[in-house]
Amino acid sequence: MKIPMPAVVLLILLAGCPHIASAQVVIPATPKKFKTRSTGGGGSGGTATPAAPARQPTVVREIQYFTLSDARQWKSTDGRSLLGKLIAFEQSEQTFVDGQPSGPAAQPPARPTLVRDGKARLLVGKTPYEVPLDRLSDEDRDFILALEKAVAASSEAQGK
């Protein structure tokens, strides 16, 4: 009778270590005896799909500027120019949660501030800039001051 090689190795190991002889070792006679087990698909012990994380609400903060003139070329005393709109120093901030406003809609101020601390505020693109009046050309300065007088007269006429 021919003894398979794994069995010979096992016998040698068992002869050298008698305390191992009490352990149960199962060696398949041929590799074809290995069985494969499938994972999952059983009725019990399956894995559960974890719950999706809670969706965070989308919060958008919107800033509104109150424009007081159409876009125009503003010239500085040193000859440079830029395209922008004259805006009031007041602005409103609105927060939207998932597209819904979280508060009342913004109302323009009754009497907007055109000049503060000797500066006017211009909106260039989407960015507001404070420009000192003494850096603007005489024509632009006169435009702002005339508009400021008109706003003051209008608010006085309305009794505000």
Q: In whole angstroms, give the CA distance from residue 47 to residue 25.
A: 32
Contact residues for 1 (Cβ-Cβ < 8 A; gap 6+): none
Cα–Cα nearest to 68, from 90, 91, 86, 84: 86
pLDDT band of 11, cuts 50, 70, 90: low
How much is the mean pLDDT over the chain?
Answer: 79
Quote the pLDDT of residue 21. 47
CB atoms within 10 A of CB 75: 16
Mean pLDDT of 101-120: 85
- Residues 23-53 have pLDDT tens digits of 555 565 666 656 666 665 555 555 667 778 8
Q: In whole angstroms, give the CA distance from residue 78 to residue 47.
A: 74
Q: In whole angstroms, give the CA distance from residue 78 to residue 136.
A: 9
Query: How many CA atoms lie less than 13 Å away from 60 in the CB half-sphere?
Result: 7
- State in Å, rounded, how far the first CA of the chain is from the last one: 117
Say if residues 82 and 135 touch (Cβ distance below 8 Å): no
Quote the pLDDT of residue 74. 94
